[in-house]
Amino acid sequence: MLPADARLRRSEEFRAVMRGGARVGRRRLVLHALADYGEHTKAGFVVSKAVGNSVVRHRVTRRLRHLVFDRLGTVPAGTALVVRALPPAATASSVQLGADLDAALRRLGLSQRTRQENGSTV
């Protein structure tokens, strides 16, 4: 589970990230990111009914939450992320979701490996 200070909770927070941030789409998810959001790195999840019934949506959310938690330390402090699941996420494995998440983070320049290759300090 994500720590309380690492969660987006209010619709205004989600709206600010989704409208004001960068966006990268992958097969199973869309990642929205907004830099300089605050002191802590925060994440939120959007899993609509298009993904599946309640059981499927909650399973996808739990998988995504676990994957994002493992990557929070590699994302620059103060970044807000919104992970929006697409319908193919319902049948995807955690490995596939993780690969899509990693690819999206790299594309946005938010993964630790990308920043090290560019000579930035973490």
- Cα 86 from Cα 28, distance rounded (Å): 5
Give 34-58 pLDDT, tens digit per residue. Answer: 999 988 999 999 999 999 999 999 9
Q: Where are the domains of the chain?
A: 4-116
Predicted model pTM: 0.88
Average the pLDDT over 3-9 and give the result: 93
Q: Which of 20, 46, 18, 14 shows the shortest CA–CA distance to 32?
A: 18
Give 62-90 pLDDT, tens digit per residue. Answer: 999 999 999 998 999 999 999 999 999 99
Average the pLDDT over 97-101 and give the result: 97
| CATH number for the domain formed by residue range(s) 4-116 | 3.30.230.10
